[in-house]
Chain A
Amino acid sequence: MTGSDVTTAGGTAGDRAVFGRRLPLVTGAAIAAGLFAALLSPPDAVQGELVRLMYVHVPTAWVAYLSYAVTLVTSIGWLWRRSPGLDRLAAASAEVGVFFTGLTIVLGSVWGRPTWGVWWTWDARLVTTALLFFIYLGYLALRRAVPEPALRARRSAVFGVVAFAQVPLVHFSVLWWRTLHQPPTVLRPGDPTIDHTMLATLVLSVVAFTLLYALLVRARARLAEAQDALETADLVRPGAVAGAAVTAPQKEGSCG
């Protein structure tokens, strides 16, 4: 954002260019509705009030999966079409995914302390989620390590496809291993085992977080586009010729 941006009651013109106008309003409304529904929903028969954490923990995990799926699809798309926009979208989605994966682990830990009595346990779902976090940190490290845009896009697109192989492992870990973490209650064949009032609240939260994801990814991709444009402009701007600071010797009294 530059100093010439006009500040208004709702933010600056620069903010609007990055975040847009309608999506922040819709996202804010959805988050407010989700929060309201989460506070009004009944407590769980076993977990009591702790169940309210589920309305944040599950959507953050969902958004993490969604982020990596978008990174996969846009990476394949980049390898096919070579569009810079797809690379920016893949990177933005992975960044947001890493943030939400970290948030999922932290929220799960906060929930686990009163429920299981520990902040961390060697549960298959926890461990595979932590591995997923590190795999995509590797993806971001790979992007940072390659300065040239086309090479960076190609390498990260290939790794974006390879890395996604971990996502099904995380999802099915609760079925393949005996774990403390509960098995799927919503994304499972047949009727969800969760109470339907809670399910409605959860779905509302998932929608709100998905909108938040869309907002963040769009903003990050727009910032990356602006950064690319700035770098391109710097490249094409004529710079001072080497040696321009050195002037030719002049005879005394001839300057002026």
Chain B
Amino acid sequence: MTVAAGPAPDARVTPLTQCLLLAGKDLRLERRTGEALLVTAPFGAVALLLVPLSVGVDTPLLRQLGPAMYWLVVLLFGVLVTLRTSAVDSAAQLAMLRLAGVSARVRLAGRALGNGLLLLGFELLLAPVAVLLYNPDLTGWAWQVPVFVLVAAGLAVLGALADALAAGLAGRTTLGPLLVAPVAVPLLLGATGVLTAARYGRPPWPWLVLVLTVDLVAALLAAWCARYLEELT
């Protein structure tokens, strides 16, 4: 039997497709291990539960503190999501990706996209817990929709950068948060600022612009330094 000769299929895969495939790979690994959503998210919920015990059961005060505590937990525990063990690429995986022509920039973008989706899930899992425990004033809650996305995106990129910088080090999971948390503070300020502004009837745009600026600066820095990080592994 002969095979009909035809035009060879186009084997090129665009960088966007590569990025999506890599993010999908990270999400599949997360589905198997459940490290971010089944371990870190409950740990974050425990932190939200413990705060009132240390502050004292002052319901009006906790109602006021609730949103700030929520975003603090998202920032600190979100870094752990980006530094999860299932996001560590072995030398063989990296060699295979390099041979397949996947650039360092695409690999970093894929990791950041996977991180971002997981962080969004992490935020959405913890939000009802915070609402239930703290009963905060939800005036202007619709403004939180873009905040969820922008904070997840910024933290995802910064986390991917820190993950690459601390790759292979013994203290990766302790060093990574030290590298990310202070740099990510504008995200915390922006997220809580949007809520406060909405509650007092002020336009929250400046805070959204702040978070967006951090996202863009982080993305530009990540795109610039990706080729230098390539030589690390």
Closest-by-CB residue of B relative to A169 is B186
A141 to B175, CA, bound (A): 7
Count of B interface residues, CB-CB < 8 Å: 21
Whether B178 pairs with A141 at a CB distance below 8 angstroms is: yes
Q: Is B102 an interface residue (CB 8 A)?
A: no
Count of A interface residues, CB-CB < 8 Å: 23
Whether A155 pairs with B217 at a CB distance below 8 angstroms is: no
Q: Could you say which residues of chain A place their CB within 8 Å of the CB of B221?
A: 161-162, 165
Whether B182 pairs with A162 at a CB distance below 8 angstroms is: no
Q: Is A222 an interface residue (CB 8 A)?
A: no
Contact for A142 among B166, B185, B224, CB less than 8 A: B166
Q: Could you say which residues of chain A place their CB within 8 Å of the CB of B175?
A: 138, 141-142, 145
Whether B225 pairs with A137 at a CB distance below 8 angstroms is: no
Whether B232 pairs with A155 at a CB distance below 8 angstroms is: yes
Whether B182 pairs with A131 at a CB distance below 8 angstroms is: yes
Closest-by-CB residue of A relative to B225 is A158
Q: Is A166 an interface residue (CB 8 A)?
A: yes
Q: Could you say which residues of chain A place their CB within 8 Å of the CB of B182?
A: 131-132, 134-135, 138, 166
A151 to B166, CA, bound (A): 11
Q: Could you say which residues of chain A place their CB within 8 Å of the CB of B229?
A: 158
Q: Is B165 an interface residue (CB 8 A)?
A: yes
Whether B178 pairs with A162 at a CB distance below 8 angstroms is: no
A166 to B185, CA, bound (A): 10
With A145-B166, A145-B170 as contacts: A162 and B228 at CB distance below 8 Å: no
Least CB distance from B196 to A in Å reads 13
A211 to B232, CA, bound (A): 36
Whether B183 pairs with A166 at a CB distance below 8 angstroms is: yes
Q: Is A73 an interface residue (CB 8 A)?
A: no
Q: Is A219 an interface residue (CB 8 A)?
A: no
Contact for B178 among A137, A151, A154, A166, CB less than 8 A: A137
Whether B231 pairs with A165 at a CB distance below 8 angstroms is: no
Whether B169 pairs with A162 at a CB distance below 8 angstroms is: no
Q: Is A99 an interface residue (CB 8 A)?
A: no
A131 to B175, CA, bound (A): 16
Q: Is A163 an interface residue (CB 8 A)?
A: yes
Q: Could you say which residues of chain B place their CB within 8 Å of the CB of A169?
A: 186
Q: Which of B171, B175, B179, B224 counts the most A-chain CB atoms under 10 A from its CB?
A: B179
Instruction: Give 26 pairs: A residue, B residue, CB < 8 Å, sorted on A.
Output: A131-B185, A135-B182, A137-B178, A138-B182, A141-B175, A141-B178, A142-B165, A142-B175, A145-B166, A145-B169, A145-B171, A145-B175, A154-B232, A155-B165, A155-B232, A158-B228, A159-B165, A159-B179, A161-B225, A162-B183, A162-B225, A163-B183, A165-B183, A165-B217, A166-B183, A169-B186
Known: A134-B182, A158-B165, A162-B183. 4 other contacts (CB 8 A): A131-B182, A141-B175, A157-B228, A166-B182
